[in-house]
Homo-oligomer: A and B are copies of this chain.
């Protein structure tokens, strides 16, 4: 049985980011079910420049390679001024022209349920890039202002169960999309 491998990206570069803490927690939740999550790096990407798409920039090559190698992509991104964080949009801009992103199953995590503008903008961009947003894997968790770090998320039953359920749905959908590549259950 082939194991599933996911790539997770946080749209915040802040050290104590709730979004980063969430994907770190999700990585541990997944590992306990035999699902591998690779945490990707967007902080070393230069600002997107269409003139530089063929420049073999290491951080761009790494991102594209990680997306291409993954069965699905987990995105946890903050809302800044009612928009997608520039860092996350910049990462997506680098992926627009490649073959790695289209049809990729996407799980969205929203760490601030009251923040709906960036989530809507992110959905529009991902759909335009032919990403496959798995609605059953979309999870909103009230982390903003909670003070919870990775371990706090893991020890909060409500939040960790919501993440586990969304991850389960995500992996089931990926399995259904690729019947030739069954994955281990996360339950």
Q: Which residues of B are found within 8 Å of A12, using beta-carbon distances?
A: 50
Known: A80-B93, A80-B96. A14 touches B51 (CB 8 A): yes
Q: Which residues of B are found within 8 Å of A132, using beta-carbon distances?
A: none
In this assembly, does A13 line the interface, its C-beta being within 8 Å of a C-beta of chain B? yes
| Distance, CA A129 to CA B45, complexed state (A) | 26
| Distance, CA A31 to CA B169, complexed state (A) | 59
Q: Which residue of B lies closest to A82 (CB)?
A: B128
Check B83 against A86 for contact (C-beta < 8 Å): no
Q: Which residues of B are found within 8 Å of A93, using beta-carbon distances?
A: 80-81, 85-87
In this assembly, does A90 line the interface, its C-beta being within 8 Å of a C-beta of chain B? yes
Q: Which residue of B lies closest to A50 (CB)?
A: B14
Nearest-Cβ distance from residue A44 to partner chain B, whole angstroms: 9
Check A87 against B84 for contact (C-beta < 8 Å): no
Q: Which residue of B lies closest to A127 (CB)?
A: B82
Check A125 against B82 for contact (C-beta < 8 Å): yes
Q: Which 3 A-B pairs have the closest CB atoms?
A: A86-B90, A86-B89, A13-B49
